[in-house]
Structure 1
Amino acid sequence: MKPSVSVPVLVGVRELAFLAGGPERVVDTTIVGLRVRELLLVARDGRLTATARTGEGPIEDTILALVPAESGADLTEVRLAAARDPAILAVRDGLVAAGLMRRVPRPFARRAATVTPAGVRCLGAARREWGRADWAAEGPPDVIGAAALFGRRALHDADTGAAFRVSDLRIRRLREGKRRKRPAHEGGRNSYDPSSGYNPTLGKSYNAGSYQDMSGSCAGSY
């Protein structure tokens, strides 16, 4: 992600990813970055293979550690596990300290934060700067920045895009299954009916670990 005078200096790719889609987007962006540098191979069926054991910083190290050198790992399992990593939650804490997110009360003592108007402006400025025509003349598209700002729809690599589509479907099914099992007093939907008009993708809470593709907005709490 190239720097922009419109975006605060302290905001990097991971911070923008968090503003755009929460911890899940940070994980996905990091996976894309590892793939671009060929430290992580992504097969169409969602199988991950690591070619290195350490990366650049704790978030990359966490993801690589979740991919055994001998057997590899499933993309869905890695995405679910890595999103709970303290290093990613530290990104949120930094955004709160910078005034780009704010703490909000959530039921059952969950820690969460929501994007502030300043955060929305920051994210909008980054998206506008990313789309500037003069960037295209500087070289190939900024794949990692695109993944951070626009989500899965920005993945132009066919194998990676296919792997994330498969993984999104698996995660959605897992979330729907857990929602049906949870008691109503804990926020579950015991009588979930696909024909009821409730959209399980739009109805999720980010700090509960949803993996919707927030390509066009930054709404929600994380």
Structure 2
Amino acid sequence: MFWVLLLLPAWAVADTACTRLCLAAVRAAAVDPGPAATAGDGGRGPAPVPLTLYETAFLSGGPRRVADVTLVSMARQRRLLLARTGWATVVDPHGRDDMERSVIGAIGPRGQSRIAPVRAAAATADPVRGLADRLVRAGLAVPDGHAGTTIADAVRQVRFAAAAVAGLGAAALLLPVPPDVPRHLIALWFALPLVLALGCLAMARFEVHPYARWASPAGQRLLEALSRGTDGAGDDRAYLTSVAVRGIRAVGEPDLRAAFAHREHGHRAGGEREY
């Protein structure tokens, strides 16, 4: 009965992935201060601390998003020139905060560099690491360096498990089986771990969606409140906040978008590692 040899790994992969998802949800709930801490406890608790632009960028897209927002902000203030060819040129060498100074330092003493390595270097600089540490201590960001422990990672594993179970089930149905074993019974045995995986995905989508890579549940609530608060606003702060939340696709200037379109090609060509 070769199909049993396929059923065992199907159950193992589904059970392992679903267990990891449950543990990730429990850990997220353990560090979550709850809606009261981020929404003012119905008017009885302290008001939530507003997110800065860099904090918003990190919680929405991680270290690379912080670098992107810094570059866009400096370019809009004409203190940094981002050419359509994918090069960054320093116009004002005096950064106004640590993030800007890290970008200028990444460009180098010549004052000109390709955007891709600048973005990569700025994303791994000390100011971004310090920002990440502060957000983690505040319970707004997910600690990094724990592969497979975040809800987003666990959901991806459950999706993979569901696909694996379906594939193993299809392979089992193609194998020769004894005459006294009906194929619909084999399909039923494989349907059980598949239902387990799909059920976990359904509950995760209902309970903890969206699955953020960087923000904790408390951080996600602040991001949602920020998005509602900036709807319809048209000033420069709202523009940069939109870039922080949505990324480079929120940039409206064609020349600026063209400059960032070269970043991934240049990054791969240089052989640098993604942060």
TM class by shorter chain equals 0.5 to 0.7
- 1:174-193 alignment to 2 at 5 Å? none
Q: Which residue of 1 aligns with 2:70?
A: 30
- Kept in 1, the 8 Å contact 2:70–2:99? The answer is yes
Query: C-alpha displacement at 1:55, in angstroms?
Result: 1.3
- Contact (CA 8 Å) 1:55, 1:61: kept in 2 or not? yes
**CA deviation profile, 1:11-68 (whole Å, cap 9, x unmatched):** 2000000000000000000001101111100100111111111111111011112224
1:92 is matched with which residue: 121, 129, 132?
Answer: 132
Name the structure 1 match of 2:57.
Answer: 17
Structure-to-structure mapping, 1:164-183, within 5 angstroms: 164-171=260-267, 173=268
Q: Report the TM-score, using the length of structure 1 for normalisation.
A: 0.66
Corresponding residue number in structure 2 for 1:212: none
For residue 81 of structure 1, report the CA deviation from its aligned partner: 1.1
Bigger relative contact order, structure 1 or 2 (CA pairs below 8 A, ≥6 apart): 2
- Aligned-partner Cα distance in 2 for 1:47–1:104: 30
- Aligned equivalent of 2:228: 128
Q: Secondary structure at the match of 1:73?
A: strand
CA distance in 1, matches of 2:98, 2:257: 25
Inter-partner Cα distance in structure 1 for 2:144 and 2:81: 38
Does the residue aligned with 1:52 lie in a helix, a strand or coil? coil
String of CA shifts for 1:89-120, please: whole Å, max 9, x gaps.
1111111121112425536xxxxx94211111
Max Rg structure: 2
**Residue of structure 1 equivalent to 2:10:** none
Matches within 5 A, 1:31-110: 31-68=71-108, 70=110, 72-103=112-143, 106=146
Task: State the alpha-carbon separation in 2 of the partners of residues 71 and 141 from structure 1.
Answer: 27
- Greater CA deviation, 122-131 or 17-26? 122-131
Call closer, same or farther: CA 1:117–1:140 in 2, change over 3 Å.
Answer: closer
Q: Distance in 2 between matches of 1:83 and 1:105?
A: 15
The Cα RMSD (Å) is 2.7
Unaligned runs of 5+ in 2: 1-38, 41-46, 148-212
Q: Distance in 2 between matches of 1:53 and 1:162?
A: 24
Question: Hey, which bits of structure 1, 4+ residues long, moved more than 6 A?
Answer: none
Larger helix proportion of the pair: 2
Identical-residue share of aligned pairs (%): 31
C-alpha deviation, 1:10, in angstroms:
4.8
Q: Which position in structure 1 is the counterpart of 2:251? A: 155
Secondary structure of residue in 2 paired with 1:48: strand
Are the structure 2 counterparts of residues 47 and 28 from structure 1 closer, same or farther at C-alpha, using a change threshold of 3 Å? same
**Could you list the runs of 5+ residues in structure 1 that have no partner in the other structure?**
108-112, 180-207, 210-222
1:106–1:41 distance in 2 versus 1, CA, 3 Å: same
Letter in 2 for 1:82: A
Distance 1:38 1:104, change over 3 A: closer
Number of residue equivalences: 166
Tell me the secondary structure at the aligned position of residue 101 of structure 1: coil
